[in-house]
Amino acid sequence: MENGKNRELLTLNSGDMAMPYEWSIGLYGSRFFQEIREKRRFLGIRCPKCQKVLVPPRRICGPCFQKLDELVELVSCPVGLIKIDVEGAEYAVLEGATRVLAECRPLFYVEVGAEQNADVTAVFQRLKYRLYDGDSDDEVELTQCAFNTLAVPRESTRTNRC
């Protein structure tokens, strides 16, 4: 073959051939991606024994060997703090995190560029967050974002010393 005398001709086919297999990510794997695509939400599955929520959902809890069937939406997500340092895209990131902001009410530590300050300040004020200078030990609430801003939900008892 390497000397070129016994080369086989390559043939091309149309791509219409029958495939003897089907790729699958399983019942829960498919549902996981369908929910993201169609409802823009994440699902996990809760283990009845250890109570852990596994993401993405699967049929069996590995440590417990329990069969799993309780799909749960990850709305009560335990997001406690989000740090944003995105060089001028702060406002876009916050707008994209609307659901997390509304449902999880995390703390934010955000680097805010001067050109984004008014828009980012407006988002936090609309969502009822208190603003603090993240580079200062002062607990003085700000009326607009600092370069490094700590944003705390108004209902929270946490301060910038948390």
**What does the binding site for Zn ion look like in residue numbers (CB under 5 A)?**
47, 49-50, 61, 64
**Residue 48 CB, nearest approach to Zn ion (Å):** 8
Q: What is the C-alpha separation between 57 and 72, in angstroms, rounded?
A: 9
| Encoded tokens for 46 | 């809760």
**Residue 53 CB, nearest approach to Zn ion (Å):** 10
Instruction: Identify which of residues 45 and 94 has a Cβ nearer to Zn ion in the complex.
Output: 45
**Residue 26 CB, nearest approach to Zn ion (Å):** 18
Strand stretches in 15-161, DSSP E: 43-46, 53-54, 60-61, 66-67, 70-73, 81-84, 107-111, 129-133, 148-153
Is 110 in contact with 98 (CB distance < 8 Å)? no
Instruction: Identify which of residues 31 and 52 has a Cβ nearer to Zn ion in the complex.
Output: 52
Instruction: Identify which of residues 72 and 100 has a Cβ nearer to Zn ion in the complex.
Output: 72
Instruction: Identify which of residues 46 and 105 has a Cβ nearer to Zn ion in the complex.
Output: 46
Kind of pairing between the strands at 107-111 and 81-84: parallel
**Residue 24 CB, nearest approach to Zn ion (Å):** 24
